[in-house]
Amino acid sequence: MDIKFTGPEPTSAERLAVDAVLGPPESAWAGGKRNMDLEGRISLLGGSKARSFRDRLLPAFHAVKERFGWIPPGAFHYICKRLTVPPAEAYGVATFYHLFSMEHRKPTEVHVCEDIACRIKGSGELFNALVNAHACSTEIGIRKSPCLGLCERAPAALILKSGEQPTGGAIGCATPGNVQDALTTNSFPDQQQNWLTHSVPQLGQPQLRLLARVGHTLPQSISGYQATGGFEGLTNAIAIGPLAIINEVIASGLMGRGGAAFPTGKKWEAVAHASGPTKYVVCNADESEPGTFKDRVLLEGDPLAVIEGMAIAGIASGATKGYIYIRGEYPLSVNRVQNAIDASLASGWLGSNIQGSGHTFHIEIRKGAGAYICGEETALFNSIEGKRGEPRNKPPYPVHVGLFGKPTLINNVETLANIPWILRLGGAEYAGIGTGNSKGQKLFCVSGHVANPGVFETPFGITLKQLIALAGGTPSGAPIKAILLGGAAGTFVGPDQMDVPLTFEGTRAIGASLGSGVVMVFDETTDLGDILVRIAAFFRDESCGQCVPCRVGAIRQEELMQRLRVGQPKGSAGQEVSLLGEIAQVMRDASICGLGHTASGAIQSALRIFGTRTMQKPVPEVKP
Amino acid sequence: MSDSSYWFQPPPRPSLIPMRPQTPISPPVEVSIDGEKVSVPAGSTILDACKKIGRDTPTICYHDTLEPVNVCRVCVVEVEGSRILVPSCSRKVEPEMVIQTASDRVRHSRKMVLEFLQSSVDLSTAPQILDQARRYQTNPARYGDPSPPAIQNERDHHHAGHHEIPSGEMAQTVAQPPKVDNNLYVRDYAKCLLCYKCVEACGTDAQNTFAIAVAGRGFDGRISTEYNKPLPDSACVYCGNCIAVCPTGALSFKSEFDMRQAGTWDESLQTQTDTICSYCGVGCTLTLHVQENKIVKVTSPFEQEITEGNLCIKGRFGYSHVQNIEE
């Protein structure tokens, strides 16, 4: 590959930052000094080997971003040279992710969540207050961010400090005061306490399975994990072998917990039967659906369960390498999972020859860089491969052609956390929990206007009303106006649907979907129009732009919602609604991936239930 | 010289003229298109099958010489058993597939895609797409008047994940001034509908130069060099193979661009003459587009087996000496 490098040479600091993650350059080809003794007039590195490092692109960008706060041209070109990536392509990759900036940025950035749950808890005011407080700062920049996954402690902020010692962390129940404290003291409350008491209202209750260790066991403690049944599933898995593992998972009736509800056992079987010596296991921890935070709680509270699940998946499918793709907005999760991986390696529960069984399984963490679309499985593969996070056309499906073109088993965090439990209990017994098609226990992310927001774990079969009651109902006792099921890509339901059982089949029967388990409650004071406009803006921001229906459809949908919001429809409101329906249909029918297919669902359902009048700003009541 | 591992050894001279290896004949697959049975070789796409029975299927991002990227979604068809419509340009036929190409859903999607493009992109030099739009009876005016164009390079600074909330009164477009930074060709991205063809032609599908790529995200997506550098500072080698595949005239010869600006471009006055490029021994076919006894642009037929319409800077742009015009 003949690549032209046109940029400035890296400064020594830039070179150091890149070398810290990629290691020193091997040869002159990769931007190092030419070693005449070794290399002579030929290149030691070139051809396909030189191009095989492409998947290090995002880690390298992350390293530079963490050092400088943005990606300076010198560092950028040095990375391209090191990895044999054409600069134009690398630029296309970097500009795809919103945590990377190609223009100078202040070294510290505070990202304030502007998504649904934070919006109704005053994130707008928080943003304005922070902007005013730091208006003249050359050090601190304030930016709006899509959902940060802290909906149970809204409003949320995320501080990312670059520099020689980069730090960062999330702040729940953020106020200008506690954000300022974190900025000055460099300490983040979440990192100090291991116990996640705010996130799990049911803490300590005996019926918890997936959340049993959260808040009780240190997340990276192997002994604590084993004392509570940890690694028993993996031990059983090693004893019974791949075929029997898959049979147990099929017998359990486990369905994927990421939103699509695909039968997990079937997926595992397909990967195990796929041809080829190299296969991968991928854990999808790019939890970005507004309103979803269960995966974060699992990764922070019980990362070893996810690791154990991945190792079992590896043995079942014949993969020896696993990736866990964690969104860039979860620095604490990255930290805790890395510690847990290190601890597992040290104690022989990961690595080559796991517990003397002859099985090998390694796990590598990959960090996202701000892109909702990377939660789509094929976009996630592209992101790991160092490409733009654009979804691929299916078929072929990941079980045949996945990561690096190899058969790949990809599951959500919660799905994988169920695996050790299934292997411990036995598939048949697991299938005894839950309802007809929805087996096991489910994590629900309850947020919005409830007294005790958080992750709730219950067997499938609980109704919406029971779940909201479990979360303490609305804090003021005010009547409920609407509930959003499944997040921004989900559906609104009205208070008349409170008796729906929260199962895959129950929600489907009323035309909704369980999605990732989001239950966001809005009381009657909520300005639903504001939320719908935000959902439209969210999809306009997060559409990858690859296919026309979604790229232009999302922007036309947002414009139309704005017109309804300000009460200036083109023609009548009825005409606008029918146009919105046409836009929704082409996005649903002709988009490449699930983002386009679901981008209009919440808006359509809300307008169906509440009509276009809900779009307008509520007029404050004038008291005589 | 004696160390053979160091030096390239040319292969022995072939005794026969090199030819493309023959493609093995695939077993036929029978599918049904709008009720009509059609048999095509395995590995064909639905589009191939549609073409075989003359079922007209609009395409924009598809090109015979490029790998299908299936992003424009104008070629979608309905396949029985599939929840969503499938792109006919890339989906391979499977035995017993039942395909609808004229159902309401298909017509609606095609109409909306064309309407979306009309409402956001300048298609004035893409008569074929406008033709399709007329056939599918689009009405782009219902999204409002187009918003005013961005200033030069403004769109290149849009950051992913952040946008100004629109008023909704006007339809946002990709309108912006053309990028004129060299004497050979112009990039008028107000006409770009992001079909990815130029990126493919610049990359592994033809030229392997990688001077341009898709940058940004969503509606802020754009074709860009690294850091939006002008072409002369980029890796561009001016082969012009991107111009050859551009479906909208977003990429055009500077000569064509200037004449269009001056209002003197008139295709009815133009003749096309095929000749062989004399710069090297490859022997590419050149099609000279001549207006008023002056070469105004050079293309190469895509059917040409050896080069598939690709040229180099000399073949495509090196014609000024013929005309002996004093600059």
- What is the full DSSP assignment across B303-323? T-TTTTT---HHHHHTTHHHH
Q: What is the CATH number of the domain that holds B137?
A: 3.10.20.740
Q: What percent of chain B has pLDDT above 70? A: 96
* Chain B hits for A547, Cβ within 8 Å: 70-73
Tell me the C-alpha distance between B221 and B190, whole Å. 12
Tokens 């510290």 sit on residue: A108
- Number of other residues whose CB lies within 10 A of the CB of residue A185: 8
Look at residue A623 in the predicted model and tell me its pLDDT: 62
In degrees rounded to 5, what are phi and psi of residue B287?
Answer: -105, 115
Residue B5 has pLDDT above 70, yes or no: no
Which of A2, A544, A570 is the closest to B218 by Cβ?
A544
Tokens 């082409």 sit on residue: A586
End of a domain among A94, A120, A142?
A: A94
B276 and B182 belong to one structural domain: yes
Tell me the C-alpha distance between A337 and A345, whole Å. 12
Shortest Cα–Cα distance, B289 to chain A (Å): 32
Burial per residue of B137-149, b for 16 or more beta-carbon CB atoms within 10 angstroms, e otherwise: ebebebbbebbee
* Chain B hits for A562, Cβ within 8 Å: 165-168
Per-residue pLDDT of B184-225, as tens digits, reads: 999 999 999 999 999 999 999 999 999 999 999 999 999 999
* Interface contact A569, partner B, CB < 8 A: no
User: In A, residues 256-285, which contact B (CB 8 Å cutoff)?
Assistant: none
Q: Do A553 and B76 touch (CB under 8 A)?
A: no
Which range (A50-59, A576-585, A599-608, B262-271) has the least confidence?
A50-59
Tokens 């005996």 sit on residue: A206
State the number of CA atoms in the 13 A half-sphere of A99 facing the CB. 29
Q: Give domain status of residue A210, yes or no.
A: no
User: In A, residues 98-127, which contact B (CB 8 Å cutoff)?
Assistant: 98, 101-103
Q: What percent of chain A has pLDDT above 70? A: 98
Query: Do A173 and A155 contact (CB within 8 A), yes or no?
Result: yes
Q: Do B165 and A562 touch (CB under 8 A)?
A: yes
Q: Give domain status of residue B156, yes or no.
A: no
Q: What is the CATH number of the domain that holds A548?
A: 1.20.1440.230
Instruction: Quote ipTM for the complex.
Output: 0.94
| Position B36 confidence tier, pLDDT thresholds 50, 70, 90 | very high
* Chain B hits for A40, Cβ within 8 Å: 6
* Chain A hits for B6, Cβ within 8 Å: 40-42
Q: How far is CA B253 from the centre of its chain?
A: 15
Domain that holds residue B88: 27-145
A320 and A386 belong to one structural domain: yes
Q: What percent of chain B has pLDDT above 90? A: 87
Look at residue B326 in the predicted model and tell me its pLDDT: 60
End of a domain among A67, A94, A121?
A: A94
A283: nearest Cα among A334, A241, A245: A334
A532 and A518 belong to one structural domain: no
B138 and B42 belong to one structural domain: yes
Q: Give domain status of residue B273, yes or no.
A: yes
Q: What angle do CA A521, A110, B156 make, to 5 degrees?
A: 100
* Chain A hits for B109, Cβ within 8 Å: 549, 585-586, 589-590
Q: Do A146 and B208 touch (CB under 8 A)?
A: no
Q: Average pLDDT, stretch B47-51? A: 96
A593: nearest Cα among A516, A539, A537: A539
B313 and B191 belong to one structural domain: yes
Beta bridge pairs of residue A142: A110
Tell me the C-alpha distance between A150 and A445, whole Å. 10
Q: Give domain status of residue B6, yes or no.
A: no
Which of A103, A533, A548 is the closest to B117 by Cβ?
A548
Q: Do B235 and A86 touch (CB under 8 A)?
A: yes
Tell me the C-alpha distance between A596 and A520, whole Å. 22
Per-residue pLDDT of A444-478, as tens digits, reads: 999 999 999 999 999 999 999 999 999 999 998 89
Handedness of CA A34, A36, A40, A41 (dihedral sign): positive
B193 and B139 belong to one structural domain: no
Q: Do B157 and A103 touch (CB under 8 A)?
A: yes
Tell me the C-alpha distance between A515 and A512, whole Å. 9
* Interface contact A547, partner B, CB < 8 A: yes
B128 and B235 belong to one structural domain: no
* Chain B hits for A552, Cβ within 8 Å: 116-117, 119-120, 219
Q: How far is CA B179 from the centre of its chain?
A: 18
Tell me the C-alpha distance between A334 and A357, whole Å. 28
Number of domains chain A is built from: 5
Look at residue A174 in the predicted model and tell me its pLDDT: 95
Q: Do B112 and A583 touch (CB under 8 A)?
A: yes
Under DSSP, is residue A316 helix (H, G, I), strand (E, B) or coil?
helix
Domain that holds residue A286: 222-431
B178 and B138 belong to one structural domain: no
Shortest Cα–Cα distance, A533 to chain B (Å): 10
| Position B19 confidence tier, pLDDT thresholds 50, 70, 90 | confident
Q: Give domain status of residue A1, yes or no.
A: no
Tell me the C-alpha distance between A285 and A299, whole Å. 9
Number of domains chain B is built from: 2
End of a domain among A505, A523, A541?
A: A523
Residue A249 has pLDDT above 50, yes or no: yes
End of a domain among B130, B145, B160?
A: B145
Query: Do A104 and A159 contact (CB within 8 A), yes or no?
Result: no
A391 and A269 belong to one structural domain: yes
Residue of A nearest to B167 (CA): A562
B181 and B314 belong to one structural domain: yes
Q: Give domain status of residue A36, yes or no.
A: yes
Q: Give domain status of residue B4, yes or no.
A: no
Which of B6, B108, B211 is the closest to A88 by Cβ?
B211
Shortest Cα–Cα distance, B81 to chain A (Å): 13
* Chain B hits for A546, Cβ within 8 Å: 71, 194, 221
A182 and A240 belong to one structural domain: no
Q: Average pLDDT over chain B, rounded to whole?
A: 93
A419 and A466 belong to one structural domain: no
Look at residue B1 in the predicted model and tell me its pLDDT: 45
Give residue B132's identity as a one-letter amino acid code. Answer: Q
End of a domain among B93, B126, B145?
A: B145
Burial per residue of A560-597, b for 16 or more beta-carbon CB atoms within 10 angstroms, e otherwise: bbbbbbeeebbeebeebbebbebbbbbbbbbbbbbbbb
Look at residue B21 in the predicted model and tell me its pLDDT: 78
Tell me the C-alpha distance between A447 and B326, whole Å. 74
B61 and B126 belong to one structural domain: yes
In degrees rounded to 5, what are phi and psi of residue B78?
Answer: -95, 125
Q: What is the CATH number of the domain that holds B215?
A: 3.30.70.20
What size, in residues, is chain B?
A: 327
Q: Give domain status of residue A160, yes or no.
A: yes
Q: Do A96 and B227 touch (CB under 8 A)?
A: no
Per-residue pLDDT of B113-154, as tens digits, reads: 999 999 999 999 999 999 999 999 999 999 999 999 999 999
Residue A604 has pLDDT above 50, yes or no: yes
Q: Give domain status of residue A436, yes or no.
A: no
Q: Do A89 and B210 touch (CB under 8 A)?
A: yes
* Interface contact A221, partner B, CB < 8 A: no
User: In A, residues 141-200, which contact B (CB 8 Å cutoff)?
Assistant: 143-146
Query: How many pairs of residues across A and B have Cβ atoms under 8 Å apart?
Result: 214
B273 and B195 belong to one structural domain: yes
* Interface contact A597, partner B, CB < 8 A: yes
